[in-house]
Amino acid sequence: MSVENLPSEIDTTTPSVARMYDLYLGGVENYDVDRQACAELDRIAPDCAPLARINRAFLARVVRTLVEEYGVTQIIDHGSGLPTQNNVHEIAQRINPDVRVVYVDNDPMVLAHGRTCLDENDNTAVLSMDMRDTAEIFDFAERKRLFRPGARTACLFISVLHCLKDSPDERDPAAVVHKVVQRLQPGDFLAISHLASEDPGFRQRVTDLMHELTQGSWGRVRSRAEIEEYFTGLDVLPPGIVDVRGWRPDPDQAGHDQQRLAWEEWGGVAQVPEA
């Protein structure tokens, strides 16, 4: 979308996380300001582009596994990002055309593009909403019959919780995950990946720069242990909470993606246990 034709709510003067991620994935829905921000981030945090690709491949394996092996038929993709290749509904509906997907993102560019690329059929919808508004998101999905009682459900938080700040209320990432789990049934699924580092200095430098670049629209790089806390009380599926490259890698992926990176996407998939 050229700058002249943009809806007025799209701000091309401040970098956006959605557009920076699009750039790292090789997309074209980004502006000079995003490209400059990525260049600055790359100076202190190498490997952003490989991490974006690794994360996207994890997302694809998670969706495929949940639909094919666990019979998931309804999905909320929190912080879905700009449409790209292999969007969640495309992966899921190739396996089962009846899978219903609700995409949620608060970046206006996602809505602008999502209307054509993501809201493709009666089984998909794009919600321009804050992913922390759990009640409104579930109410929408139920009202539109995208979520139906008793159907196996998955909620995705793929590379998004680091966009949320810690806060002492229900807007905190852990509290948001908890609210979502409360809306799920036993046997339903939650998938998370999150930018992580075990180096406190690195975490702080990246967090400070991302705050500066996005004018505060960001959260924090967290440690592996902090991310593992989000899975408390859930039954984590094998192979556990891992560098997502190691989460059920495709056979042709073995041997690839083994290089040492400056940081990682840490995550896994869990099931809501019987009460």
Ligand X SMILES: C[S@@+](CC[C@H](N)C(=O)[O-])C[C@H]1O[C@@H](n2cnc3c(N)ncnc32)[C@H](O)[C@@H]1O
Q: Are 215 and 155 in contact (CB under 8 A)?
A: no
Q: Which stretch binds ligand X (CB under 6 A): 38-46, 111-119, 128-136, 137-145?
A: 128-136
- Among positions 48, 66, 75, 81, the unique one binding ligand X when judged by CB under 6 A: 81
The nearer residue to ligand X, 100 or 132, going by C-beta atoms, is 132
Residues 6+ apart with CB under 8 A from 203: 197, 220, 221, 222, 223
The nearer residue to ligand X, 141 or 163, going by C-beta atoms, is 163
- Phi, psi of 119, rounded to the nearest 5 degrees: -90, 60
Q: Which of the residues 160 through 179 are near ligand X (CB under 6 A)?
A: 160, 163
- Among positions 63, 110, 155, 270, the unique one binding ligand X when judged by CB under 6 A: 110
Q: What is the dihedral of CA 77, 79, 81, 84, to 10 degrees?
A: -20
Decide: is 18 part of the binding site for ligand X (CB under 6 A): yes
Q: Are 214 and 15 in contact (CB under 8 A)?
A: yes
DSSP string for residues in 48-66: HHHHHHHHHHHHHHHHHHH
Distance in Å, CB of 72 to ligand X, minimum: 17
Q: Which stretch binds ligand X (CB under 6 A): 63-71, 73-81, 199-207, 246-254?
A: 73-81
Q: Are 123 and 93 in contact (CB under 8 A)?
A: yes
Decide: is 55 part of the binding site for ligand X (CB under 6 A): yes
- Among positions 15, 79, 267, 268, the unique one binding ligand X when judged by CB under 6 A: 79
Q: Which stretch binds ligand X (CB under 6 A): 7-15, 42-50, 100-108, 140-148?
A: 100-108
Question: Among candidates 234, 53, 221, 243, which has minimal Cα distance to 154?
Answer: 234
Q: Which residues bind ligand X (CB under 6 A)?
A: 17-18, 21, 55-56, 59, 79-81, 104-107, 110, 130-132, 158-160, 163
